Amino acid sequence: MTQRRIGIDLGGTKTEVILLGGDSETLFRTRIPTVRDDYSATIESIAGLVEQAEAQAGLEALPVGVGIPGSVSRKTGLVKNANSTWLNGKPLQADLSKRLKREVKVTNDANCLAVSEATDGAAVGYEYTFAAILGTGCGAGLAHRAEAVVGPNGVAGEWGHNPLPWTSETELQSRQCYCGRFGCQETFLSGTGLCLSYRRLTGEALTGHEIAERAGAGERAAVAVVNDYLDGLARGLAAVINVLDPDVIVLGGGVSNMAVIYERVPALLPNYVFGGECDTPLVRAVHGDSSGVRGAAWLNPIKN
Ligand SMILES: [Zn+2]
């Protein structure tokens, strides 16, 4: 019996495929520009990548998992909340399963991060993993051991579009989100939000990496923005801990590379976690940018 499996990460700009071996080694990997605004062409492009990976393996009918920047409603089977809007309202899982003649698993890309890290990354051995992506946007997913938890509405772990907790009304109203609401965590805790904070304070547009560097060098404005960011992140994560109390929190996405997060946020968490006590491990994703596609492959766990 083969232990090989295929993962697809359907991103906004690129679609990536990986072929994993039973020891989680990468046997094949390639990416193509995402086919945008054309649903049936999206299906065909994914099928093409699967066939390419299977040709490499010399095998057929391998298990396939797909991570998407949106969620799948368990009730309707339809995609929703995808910023790749041409997927919304479509039965992607059913259509891919039909096209590829096997049961394809489709889930949110942040769930893939959680599954990837719980399978062979930073969250191995923990029971509940909460994994957040702090990138262009801000999403999160949940895994129980190494399986994605999605819930009846398909939104378990979705967190970016809750308002940032313990934040003044004025501050919340100052951040409009693309989703139509104000003060979503995404508008503060994403890389985009971090850059906006700096730009509002200084008038200067920098990348998150540049802001972190300037803060490290002691620039006053950058230090203030990073301090606010870390406190906001602690508040956002404390609200998760107060509801779920996960065994580990994993961070991915560009902002998660800021070392200062792991040095300082753990000490800020007890300020907001009920009872004033918190020793939840806060760790960086081991597989970095590869976690999405690896986690998609692991949506079909090895059954012994
Ligand atoms: Zn929002």
Instruction: Report, as an integer, the average pLDDT of 170-189.
Output: 95
Q: pLDDT digit string (tens) for 221-262? A: 999 999 999 999 999 999 999 999 999 999 999 999 999 999
CA 179 to ligand 1 centroid distance, Å: 4
Judge: domain 122-285, CATH 3.30.420.40: yes
**Domains in the chain: boundaries:** 4-112+290-297, 122-285
- Residue 33 CA to residue 36 CA, distance in Å, equals 9
CA 47 to ligand 1 centroid distance, Å: 32
Q: Please tell me the pTM assigned to this model.
A: 0.93
Q: pLDDT digit string (tens) for 109-124? A: 999 999 999 999 999 9
pLDDT of residue 177: 93
Q: Which CATH code, of 3.40.50.300, 3.20.20.450, 3.30.420.40, 3.30.1370.60, is assigned to 4-112+290-297?
A: 3.30.420.40
CA 160 to ligand 1 centroid distance, Å: 7
- Residue 115 CA to residue 146 CA, distance in Å, equals 5
Domains 4-112+290-297 and 122-285 belong to one CATH topology:
yes
Label residue 132 by pLDDT band (50, 70, 90): very high
Instruction: Report, as an integer, the average pLDDT of 82-101.
Output: 95
Percent of the chain at pLDDT exceeding 70: 98
CA 145 to ligand 1 centroid distance, Å: 29
CA 159 to ligand 1 centroid distance, Å: 9
Label residue 40 by pLDDT band (50, 70, 90): very high
CA 158 to ligand 1 centroid distance, Å: 11
pLDDT of residue 304: 47
Given a cut of 90, is residue 185 above it in pLDDT? yes
